[in-house]
Chain A
């Protein structure tokens, strides 16, 4: 409240935390107004509310109906509503926490345009928090690097500033720019998906295959249907039709429990909400997918589970004071390692990763890549979904580009580039012609 009075506005990374999904866009955009400027007033003037909200959205050049219920918007649209809310107020300082994470490239451009506009015309100072270093170079005047809750360095950005320099400050050590892909031996086709369609139509007519030892990417923008495809394969979303076969044998997957029985693993996008059990210990999290192995007649053998936890904590380099630590107290990267460890312990055949590097620092990212590579090297199938094209280009062997729940193209990683991926990811159906 005090911060708001001083004109400090913040747009959080977790958009769903800040929005009221049951209210309209207009009410959400004007929410601060309703809360702060209604003293002594009883009735809300909805006509005025909608007009003002519309004006703000128009300024941002966002095409959203102000009468729409916020819960029905896409992630990128919700983000835009929040930004609109922030600038609607008298605002001197604007803090943007990972604002571009859910945005596509065009939406990011839009955001940058608005940010520049705000700085130039309204004299607003902006703090831009992000993992995407090229964005800092593009729109920031100076940057501050933080590591382990401490400020490492604050420097103005000049022509000579490079992303490598920033990354090195973030890591506290030098680091090779791209992850070197290790060559794995690729075997025969193992996982084959034919005509897979999800019941609500979020995924349509998917045909794909993964060979042993192969890392297959799922490319596409946010909202392209990558997460939905991962969840449909895993049984978390119900399929309407289609066939999933593993080594020629059809898998009957109606719910995630069936998927795990068939040795499929999913590292979901929303780590804290879907991946780890934050209230439970590292030991239990690492045993959650294969507790049967540590049980005798349904009774848990704590010793065996602890041994399992010790093994994977050491193998994956999870930084935790003890295996009895609750996972809530671990950092994002270490939580992610625990999620991966859970599936390694379960000894699966197919590993599906959905944005595994989201909210993970650069150092942990490298370790996660190494892990995924090792998983593939052991002859498993890996599906890797992300909207970070650079990650796809450095770690996958092959990729499928998705748009609107459909696969638009299949690309060989060695023979493609970012431009071609974006060409298909934005919905183009004609063949790509390199310029």
Chain B
């Protein structure tokens, strides 16, 4: 029998000719924990989807050996039967079913008559919870009674019930408190001691350092290196993760920076469902006229939540003061923000940006429709003329100005959403991941637009998970991590390593 439980060799997966991962290797021994590290979009999730047969055998190239034999799984059920269980970043619980019902979902024990044998099911669930040292959980209660951390453990119980030999954890602690994280890590150590293998994907490198035996780093879909953790430290991992050249993708233009126009003081937000958990923790910052302020951080750092709070659309509890041009303002709904001159291009274009069935043009004018009305009636011709101006200005590629926006490409949809949020002539423009999922050409045009706006004196707050973008565009960079402001740097000689280290919570040098 081979030394390895799992060997993945030369795995390549492309989407319509674009390689998402290219020639990646990953090997896991029995009882070993492998840390898988890489920036957002590096290809970690794609690799795990290949392994768990979300992308079935044949849709990718390379070879997977499982316990020495080639694995040709066609669906998740087959990989689970083999003993590979993946626990996703977002919890996959049915909130109104009980803990036991969730654990046994799809494999419910049945009695002679064919009904669910609840006694047996609950008894087995209790045994599993005891193994996880979670005997205080009542397995007969609906799962929504428990916090995110406890639910994460229920998820693991579900994996144990499937006789997992390899547990894949994808960002398991992004929704957990510090104490819950500790419990989880201790548990994984115990599993290791009992011979279970695990792949641990996390941005939180200190967690990786604590439990991983080996670390594999991937970047832009390629294999950068695999080394024993003993030979590494978190700084070395960071260098491996970001070590890429900055290309001249950014049409940088000089622009004057004026007085403070916007100020956020002591902003805190709490999670909508888990109301004990702070997602934004006492963040304060200033934004000047004509300044481009980048907000860096890893997924789950609380950046989108902060933006929502500033734009008046955070649904959970929140507190803190906002000042515009020296005056305290109250933003209770997005319409207050738009009226006062704060606009936001949301992160999730499909859910929050576009009105899919409506024409591109009508999407663009939605924020300022009143401007084209007299006596309550829309002046269609005046509106259409403005639409055509905007379409030309933003270079939106569309066959007709009133074609449903859903039929356009992502980049063109994004340009229309940006146009919509520029028409109210904002003083402060919040861009949340403005270039996510759009092609290079559209990205370049959005960058150019950002500089043009800064020149005109608009204060821009740009949230981005793409480090080169943050460093290529911003005048100043805020770094957030776990809801806190971890750094506030002027973008002069700022390096990706420094930003990433701050995001992870290990400032290499003094934070300003």
A and B co-occur in one complex: no
Using a CB–CB cutoff of 8 Å, the interface residues on chain A facing chain B are none
